[in-house]
Structure 1
């Protein structure tokens, strides 16, 4: 996932990319809201728009999409980032910190399962230790593929 990061994007923008479905639903909600204002003379169209708006609202609430900023803010300290880091370019972070960004994006999506392929590749010792300790705190089931036997022995049961 590190190779998929946009090095020119800010950390905030990169984290926001984790919310594809949420962003689409919020954008559509705003479109419907605008259309509703314009359709004030057409009761049938207004009813249709109100029904769509209600469906969108329920979907947005189910995805917790009203709280995207607070979800990002909540995960920052868990990953070791500060609020000031949100405006920094992704490319300014080291490989180990980029791994944290990638993991953060995954966690923001509330996955049912994490599939990690060689997660310790190209990481320094401090980053490997951080990753190991961090993964131990998660309740999310994981499938990990790694040649790092020590990492696997310490992490997996």
Structure 2
């Protein structure tokens, strides 16, 4: 999983990839399919994914932190799962992970060790607070974009 990427599955081993899929050097999975082969239902359409990607890229550029979103099951220990997901990132120390489990109605926002002084608990809570009204109305994408934008606006850039 890379920063700025919407992740649906946590770890994919090469031997578990379907025929025609490859794990690229950037960490993304690239796959081909036959024209008549059905596509699994994605959580967002093309334009929604572009909108979310723009929010993630702009937040990452503005703050120097790698914003990442995970959608999926978080389990009973959702905070522990969020930190495990954060640790799986290539540059976890400089990352902020927004983990959402719509089916469980859970959201966790965690930050890496190098940016924890910038993405504080207060900033993470602001992101959750920004997302909740949209989530309550069933607008997952709007909530995610709001969380990313509010957190980026409330965070000063990280200086190297």
Give TM-score scaled by structure 1 length: 0.36
Higher normalized contact order (CA 8 Å, seq sep 6+, divided by chain length) = 1
